Amino acid sequence: MKLKNLRKELIVKPGTKVKLSEIDPEDTLGFKGKDKALEILERNRLKLADLHTLLYAENRRALLVVLQGLDACGKDGTVRHVMNGINPQGCTVTCFKAPSAEELDHDYLWRIYKAVPRRGEVGIFNRSHYEEVLVVRVHNLVPKEVWSERYKQINRFEQSLSENNVKILKFFLYISKDEQRKRLQERLADPSKNWKMSPQDLKERDFWKDYMKAYEDVLTECSTERAPWYIIPANKKWFRNLAVSQIIIETLESLDMKYPKPGFDPKKIVVK
């Protein structure tokens, strides 16, 4: 498998009906060897830093990266390992937890829109507006007639962002239930990671099948040309990081960004 094929292989093509049971979370699409992957990832970090500088300098558009997945799928790890080379002045990470009282007094997209990155910046959503068709559905927090309408609302919202020069990439970090069990157990066994756990994380495992169905519908209904979903097999952390970094790089390269021309002639200026 060539790196250039990752974007093509992992994208959810608009109109595709997704069945997660047909996708292997262990899959590495032919890539073998963690060491080689880490070498490529390091090169990707440097390339991504250069592309981020170009995005910032051009100041014409923004990049929004959405990370979704069940507990322990690696959202934090993806941010840490993929994005750690870019300038923090031009990057924001927003973690969407249970909405506050103020947020509940607005429509569900209000807090999302506030966090959309400015032109020239990269914004990363750790969880996102998709919680409003995932958690609320699985736990029956709103009626079906409410959450089922949100697919169209979200598509319109993302369409509007795209039309206003926000490039959107959405990654579903897909791990198996057994892999989640192993990672949660590691958190319990390591005192330095206990803080990442809560008894609710274990209770959520009881809803695994419900979440899989909810994610299948999200991926089916909300992967569009302007805001595609990518399903990342994430049991192997090294492959997860490699795939996400490569897709971000290829997407930024496709924008054909250029440094702005100065409003003066640099050749006529001498620094004394």
Q: Is the pLDDT confidence value at 1 over 60? A: no
224 vs 168: CA distance, rounded Å: 10
Residue type, 95: C
What pLDDT, in 10s, does the model give residues 113-149?
999 999 999 999 999 999 999 999 999 999 999 999 9
148 vs 74: CA distance, rounded Å: 27
pLDDT tier, 166 (very low <50, low <70, confident <90, very high otherwise) = very high
Q: What is the pLDDT of residue 4?
A: 65
185 vs 220: CA distance, rounded Å: 32
Indicate the burial class of 226 (C-beta count within 10 angstroms; 0-12, 13-18, 19 or more): middle
Among residues 104, 89, 3, 16, which one has the least CA distance to residue 47?
A: 3
Give the three-class secondary structure for 37.
Answer: helix
Q: What is the pLDDT of residue 199?
A: 83
Q: Is the pLDDT confidence value at 19 over 80? A: yes
Q: What is the pLDDT of residue 197?
A: 84
Q: Which residues pair with 95 in a beta bridge?
A: 126
Torsion region of 22: left, alpha or beta (phi above 0 gives left; psi -120 to 50 gives alpha): alpha
Q: Is the pLDDT confidence value at 3 over 80? A: no
9 vs 12: CA distance, rounded Å: 9
CB 42 within 8 A of CB 31: no
- Give me the percent of the chain exceeding a pLDDT of 90: 89
Query: How many CB atoms neighbour CB 253 within 10 A?
Result: 12
Q: What is the pLDDT of residue 2?
A: 66
Residues 6+ positions from 34 with CB-CB distance below 8 Å? 236, 238
What pLDDT, in 10s, does the model give residues 175-203?
999 999 999 999 999 999 888 888 888 89
φ, ψ of residue 64 to 5 degrees: the values are: -115, 120
14 vs 219: CA distance, rounded Å: 9
CB 260 within 8 A of CB 57: yes
Q: Which residues pair with 136 in a beta bridge?
A: none
Indicate the burial class of 43 (C-beta count within 10 angstroms; 0-12, 13-18, 19 or more): exposed
Task: Name the token pair of 101.
Answer: 């009282």
Q: Name the CATH superfamily housing domain 3-255.
A: P-loop containing nucleotide triphosphate hydrolases (3.40.50.300)
248 vs 146: CA distance, rounded Å: 33
Query: How many CB atoms neighbour CB 99 within 10 A?
Result: 15
Residue boundaries of the structural domains of the chain: 3-255
State the virtual CA torsion across 131, 211, 223, 14 in degrees, nearest 10. -160
